Structure 1
Amino acid sequence: MFAHEQRQRVVALCIELSRRGYLAGTGGNVALRIDAECFAVTPSAIDYLSMQAEDICIVRTKDLHQLDGTRTPSVETGLHAQVMRRRPDVGCSIHTHQPVASACTLLGAPLEVTQPALRRLLGARIPIAGYMPSGTGLLARLLARQLRPTVNAYLLRNHGVVCCGTNLQAAVTVVEALELVARSHLQTQIQARAAREPDLAAGLQRVLTALDSHRHTSGASSLSQT
């Protein structure tokens, strides 16, 4: 099997992300660069916990032509291709619907990153790409406009996020760090509303607590919240 090791690593990563609550069912997708010409990407409509190495697709970066694999590549393959083309330093990109960061996409605004360590990891400001239907070239092009060499996390309006890193573990670390930044942002928004809209603030706090509970019962983050 072509790129068997890389395919196995993608499967292992999907299982890890599912257990941590960042992926669920068939939602989200992962891409791993093989070389300058192609990358491995998860297939469409297969549960991550039942996925096998042979299910992973190999596509050509420049035109998304499928080079190997019998499954249909993820409908979001175009998102990953844009990252791979425009960021040659990136070895792995991850698209998730992770709960807290995805909630932030509904606000329609970028996220400012204030903590120095997180700024170095994510970038000073997390951009947001405008809304387009999932799986369309239009969405991929909107993301492409936001890509920056020093930014490793991106919001997709009313949809989810794209995170990237030099390798698998670096990309996972970005996923985790983005969730921390998103949680801090939502907590700040809730506190700002507490005095003038206490009932709404209390309801929002319950939602945020529920989102935290979903992620922690799925698997603990390896990042400290300090």
Structure 2
Amino acid sequence: MTTPPPSVELAPLRTHIAAACRVLAARGLADGILGHISLRVDARRLLVRCRGPEERGLAFTTAADIRLVDLDGQAGAEGELDGGYAPPNELPLHTEVLRRRSDVDSVVHAHPPAVVAADLAGLAIRPVVGAFDIPGTRLAAGGVPVYPRGVLVRDRRLAGEMVTAMGDRPVVLLRGHGLTSAAEDVAMAVLQSVSVDQLASLSLRVVSAGGTLTDLPEADFAELPDLGAGFNTTTAWRHELARLP
């Protein structure tokens, strides 16, 4: 039997992160048992999807899989890592972003096949669409950097390299690996990942059809409205949750 999570006051956040993990899987961004999401709780602690004794993969994440740890991977409160739970191997990927980016409270790490394939094919994430995905277009226009190493980001040295490559951007691709998305909240970090995945998928389809990728003209980009967080995040997130089985 899975050990129930301690610190009941964090239960709503655990439920929120678990649902976000299932959204990643439902969108095809994290198949199998790979991928994790974290959320800063205070200056030293974060909630993160941990490995548990009944691991079933991201699509089956429950609130019990979300555990409180500190920036060094130790239990953030009594009982948090009881019952065979352990932080993911790539916890430093999360904690180094949180250490260095005061503007970030949530980190998503996923392995979208289209993102990996597009990057390996030499296709950058570019603003090739317009009103199809306005937040994604704006994100791409600002640039999506690439960390050029296909390694497991398992320590602070490697995580530091990744964060340096990321700079102040919200998303960084990891060569032959996946992506890391960082934002103020869990929903935005996931939605950014979805947008990058969609742009990668469209780029692959265009090139496969014999087309040429062309950035949205500046005049068209200037016409794209800011529909606001209520639409871009709140409504979009309700939709993602409604898509879940």
- Which TM-score band (shorter chain)? 0.7 to 0.9
Q: Give CA deviations for 1:3-22 in whole Å, capped at 9, x if unaligned.
A: 22222211111122222222
1:95 is matched with which residue?
A: 109
2:76 is matched with which residue?
A: 67
Map residues 164-183 of structure 1 onto 2, 5 A cutoff: 164-183=182-201
2:47 is matched with which residue?
A: 40
Partner letter of residue 141 of structure 1? Answer: G
Distance 2:37 2:164 in 1: 20
Q: Deviation of residue 144 (structure 1)?
A: 1.4
**CA distance change for structure 1 residues 64 and 107 in 2, over 3 Å: closer, same or farther?**
farther
Alignment partner of 1:126: what SS? coil
Q: Structure 1: state its 5+ residue gaps.
A: 195-219
Alignment partner of 2:181: what SS? strand
How much identity, in percent, do the aligned residues show?
A: 25
Distance 1:8 1:179 in 2: 24
Q: TM-score, normalised by structure 1?
A: 0.74
Distance 2:119 2:50 in 1: 25
Q: Deviation of residue 140 (structure 1)?
A: 1.4
Distance 1:110 1:180 in 2: 13
Contact 1:155 1:161 in 2 (8 A): yes
2:163 is matched with which residue?
A: 144
1:162 is matched with which residue?
A: 180
User: After TM superposition, which residue ranges in structure 1, 4 or more long, deviate above 4 angstroms?
Assistant: 191-194
Q: Give CA deviations for 1:91-120 in whole Å, capped at 9, x if unaligned.
A: 221111112112123236643335573353
**CA distance change for structure 1 residues 86 and 74 in 2, over 3 Å: closer, same or farther?**
same
Q: TM-score, normalised by structure 2?
A: 0.69
TM-align CA RMSD: 2.7
Q: Structure 2: state its 5+ residue gaps.
A: 1-5, 213-238
135, 139, 146: which is aligned to 1:128?
146
Distance 1:141 1:124 in 2: 22
Contact 1:22 1:96 in 2 (8 A): yes
Alignment partner of 2:13: what SS? helix
207, 229, 232: which is aligned to 1:189?
207
Q: Deviation of residue 57 (structure 1)?
A: 2.3
1:112 is matched with which residue?
A: 126
Q: Give CA deviations for 1:127-154 in whole Å, capped at 9, x if unaligned.
A: 11022431422431221111222x2111
**CA distance change for structure 1 residues 121 and 36 in 2, over 3 Å: closer, same or farther?**
farther
Map residues 21-32 of structure 1 onto 2, 5 A cutoff: 21-32=28-39
Q: Deviation of residue 74 (structure 1)?
A: 0.8
Distance 2:60 2:137 in 1: 36
